[in-house]
A and B are shown apart, each in its own frame.
Chain A
């Protein structure tokens, strides 16, 4: 039973990822089709506060798979090597583009383009990965044994298209919730055509699975058929709510409905294929790690999950409501470069304070010797004589340094070295 819990954990993380980073990626793709620089910057800022947290879910999905079902991890990752590597590179570039765009005071077209294109590439690659896994990967003894292009099937390409549609839909729903004005109206209008596309993709992929999946999907089992039917029904209901909600108040409704559709869709796939994770024939039982590891994983991760969810919801709460440009004028209006310059050009210490030449040399030699001695003691050279000599020496050095630091810091403070207002005048 424990292996099903581990599988459930992986699915939970994967579902959260598809839901959360899905809208991120969808907005990234949508930004390619928006001509206003101001809105593109807005899309970027909208995601900047959340992409990191959203992406964490795929990492959790990855490691939960590694820890709970190592057989699947070791088969899938090498099996879908190329699309996965490209997806990772796209995610790297995307995160960079978001951060650098966000750090720049104005809109940077180049970063905007990288953001949009890498979002599209990441989505397509995720679709290829999902499709590649669903159409089966050769494996033996818990590791992949197939070829380089086993993931490239007609079904995986259809999956890529379908996933783009799903993420675009989630992106549009999120935009309706978070924006105002033109972006909001556009998102409302985009929703229904995208919903049609997603429904078409769902039908094609659903029936295509029978052909693509090398195993015989056993819908004659009543439990499986019931669960599958239920999941599909929920997906249809949620999609209908989304259909009704797009372009109507309340603005949060389409996203919640889309989330329901996605979750139900994922459950439908699982209901159809379980207990097989990777066809042909790699089941949850065969791929699972030993009992102790799963127990540790489930207690550790499961115990932390409520805490994680609490602060994730809190972070979401902080940035709730419609997106607004940060009002803090503090960091805008950057005086382009330097030239606050030269406050005290005379402050350079004159060489005469050093005393006669010979004294300077003697002092430097002595100081160098002292430094070498301190370094030698720190490296435990007396450890062979008495074990306590060197740790005691290190403690004395550090405490001395600390005392000198505090004393001189107080003096500097008293002398006004750290006084901001004085310096500004």
Chain B
């Protein structure tokens, strides 16, 4: 059996690479939808503004998508690199699910991304539009399969165990497991929303700087419009997801609500847990709010505490609590900003309210923060299980030496920190350069002639 240090290092490695990878799809799924809609609008109306928007966002999308793909390539191998025993046990189920993702989604994206990025002027505008929409289908399919696989690990159903290996007894139940039906809409809304903040934040920056005004107004209006429609829905879906996971993985809910004993009807804003003693050294709460959120309007119901779970089966409260708070508080901020945007729109001041626009710029990464927080809650809250109730994380690791595991962790951290810096720098540069020059020849490129079949 592997040493606890190897388990710990492997967990960090997977956590860092997974959060890093997730931050790219968090933006590119929504961006692909946005780009497809913009290109289609350009085709239908012939308005060069939409072409400007398309070309500008395509530049940011290209780099983000590329980085997402390479980081995703790493993920496919990581299941086996550090987690060989896990890979052997669940390969017959999850290997197939991920395999379906690769063949239906990865290839679709890879096949059309070249046309979308470099096809301008080489293919007919209609073909460009088709490539854009195929990319949307690809990213959405990818999200679907991945969520299906991850949800099965959260709440495994439809399987039998033979010699320590799991095999599907009912594929339908495996793929469309109950956890999936809650978590899939939640993440789908989340990726659309986080792209919305990213697009809106950058549009707001141009308005603050008074550059490219039609471009900035048009994109800000679209982004905030989508956000105002989706934010209430997301709060509702998120609440339903938390309730479902709380029912199926009680320990997770106990950990992310930050209580040890079941004697608190308040809502914890801040806790400093002492894991060994099983109590909080410090906690700040709003009384009765915990009960109200849990659908008891009288404010008396008590929120379950982590001591209800046996010590060996408890997740780490720190990561679950603060991951959840990062997601939830950011969600409230997002909700408030979307609401304020709606009020400003009603009063006809959306494009001139400078304080609001400055705040919007800061909200650009909000969606990514919330999604990262949500994943941290979901994944660390499932511990000590890697497949809930079936395989413990400590039993899942490969036969590895400490040195090899540590070396690879350092390698990944270094390279990924570098990539993150490069990605941010590339966004900043693209934004500084601006969209202004992107349609100077709108008349000649709106309908490029078909390349002759030489």
8 Å CB contact of A293 from B168, B228, B342, B445: B168
- Any chain A CB within 8 A of the CB of B66? yes
By secondary structure, the A interface counts as helix
By secondary structure, the B interface counts as helix
Beta-carbon contact of A380 and B240 below 8 Å: yes
Among A100, A146, A377, max chain B CB count under 10 A is at A100
Q: Which residues of B contact A60 (CB under 8 A)?
A: 99, 102-103, 106-107
Distance of A59 Cα from B108 Cα, bound (Å): 13
Q: Which residue of chain A has its CB nearest to the CB of B401? A: A148
Q: Which residue of chain B has its CB nearest to the CB of A397? A: B232
Q: Given A70-B88, A315-B115, A78 and B400 touching (CB < 8 A)?
A: yes
Distance of A312 Cα from B134 Cα, bound (Å): 13
- Any chain B CB within 8 A of the CB of A337? yes
8 Å CB contact of A333 from B101, B109, B437: B437
Q: Given A338-B209, A408-B350, A418-B217, A86 and B411 touching (CB < 8 A)?
A: yes
Chain A: minimal CB distance from B393 (Å): 16
Could you tell me which residues of chain A, from 13 to 35, have a CB within 8 Å of some CB in chain B? none
Q: Which residues of A contact B71 (CB under 8 A)?
A: 92
Q: Given A53-B110, A297-B99, A380-B240, A78 and B398 touching (CB < 8 A)?
A: yes
Q: Which residue of chain A has its CB nearest to the CB of B296? A: A384
Q: Which residues of B contact A419 (CB under 8 A)?
A: 49, 214
Beta-carbon contact of A338 and B107 below 8 Å: no
Beta-carbon contact of A74 and B88 below 8 Å: yes
Q: Which residues of B contact A73 (CB under 8 A)?
A: 80, 87-88, 91, 95
Beta-carbon contact of B76 and A59 below 8 Å: yes
- Any chain B CB within 8 A of the CB of A360? no
Q: Which residues of A contact B232 (CB under 8 A)?
A: 374-375, 377-378, 394, 397-398, 401
Q: Which residue of chain B has its CB nearest to the CB of A398? A: B229
User: Which among A165-173, A228-236, A247-255, A303-311 touches the partner chain?
Assistant: A303-311
Q: Given A82-B407, A290-B162, A312-B107, A64 and B99 touching (CB < 8 A)?
A: yes
Q: Which residues of B contact A404 (CB under 8 A)?
A: 228, 342, 345-346
8 Å CB contact of B229 from A48, A67, A340, A405: A405
Distance of A305 Cα from B95 Cα, bound (Å): 17
Q: Which residue of chain A has its CB nearest to the CB of B219? A: A418
Beta-carbon contact of B95 and A95 below 8 Å: no
Beta-carbon contact of B88 and A300 below 8 Å: no
User: Quick one: CB contact mask for A339-355 with B, threshold 8 Å, 1 for yes?
Assistant: 01111110111000000
- Any chain A CB within 8 A of the CB of B285? no
Chain A: minimal CB distance from B442 (Å): 8
- Any chain B CB within 8 A of the CB of A200? no
Distance of A84 Cα from B66 Cα, bound (Å): 20
- Any chain A CB within 8 A of the CB of B332? yes
Beta-carbon contact of B99 and A63 below 8 Å: yes
Beta-carbon contact of A315 and B96 below 8 Å: no
User: Quick one: CB contact mask for A113-131 with B, threshold 8 Å, 1 for yes?
Assistant: 0000000000000000000
Beta-carbon contact of B85 and A318 below 8 Å: no
Q: Which residues of B contact A292 (CB under 8 A)?
A: 92, 167-168, 171
8 Å CB contact of A88 from B77, B84, B95, B215: B77
- Any chain B CB within 8 A of the CB of A222? no
Chain A: minimal CB distance from B350 (Å): 7
Beta-carbon contact of B342 and A420 below 8 Å: no
- Any chain B CB within 8 A of the CB of A365? no
Beta-carbon contact of A342 and B210 below 8 Å: yes
Distance of A378 Cα from B91 Cα, bound (Å): 39
Q: Given A70-B91, A340-B434, A349-B352, A423 and B214 touching (CB < 8 A)?
A: yes
Q: Which residues of B contact A180 (CB under 8 A)?
A: none
Q: Which residues of B contact A63 (CB under 8 A)?
A: 76, 95, 98-99, 101-102
Q: Given A78-B84, A84-B81, A327 and B102 touching (CB < 8 A)?
A: no
Beta-carbon contact of B332 and A330 below 8 Å: no
Could you tell me which residues of chain A, from 255 to 307, have a CB within 8 Å of some CB in chain B? 289-290, 292-293, 296-297, 300-301, 304-305
Q: Which residue of chain B has its CB nearest to the CB of A345? A: B210
Beta-carbon contact of B436 and A312 below 8 Å: no
Given contacts A60-B102, A305-B103, A409-B221, 6 further A-B contacts (CB under 8 A): A55-B110, A63-B95, A100-B63, A308-B108, A417-B217, A420-B49
Please give me the 9 A-B residue pairs with the lowest Cβ-Cβ distance, nearest first. A70-B91, A67-B95, A77-B80, A78-B398, A384-B295, A66-B95, A405-B225, A99-B66, A74-B88
A-B contact pairs, 27 of them (CB 8 A): A52-B109, A53-B111, A60-B99, A66-B80, A66-B91, A67-B91, A70-B91, A78-B398, A81-B398, A85-B81, A95-B69, A100-B63, A143-B399, A290-B162, A296-B171, A300-B100, A319-B122, A371-B339, A374-B339, A375-B332, A378-B335, A380-B236, A404-B342, A412-B217, A417-B213, A418-B214, A420-B52
Using a CB–CB cutoff of 8 Å, the interface residues on chain B facing chain A are 47-49, 52, 55, 59, 62-63, 66-67, 69-74, 76-77, 79-82, 84-85, 87-88, 91-96, 98-104, 106-115, 117-123, 127, 134, 162, 165, 167-168, 171, 209-215, 217-218, 221, 224-225, 228-233, 235-236, 238-240, 243, 292-293, 295-297, 332, 335-336, 338-340, 342-343, 345-346, 348-354, 398-401, 403-404, 407-408, 411-412, 415, 419, 422, 426, 430, 432-434, 436-441, 445, 454
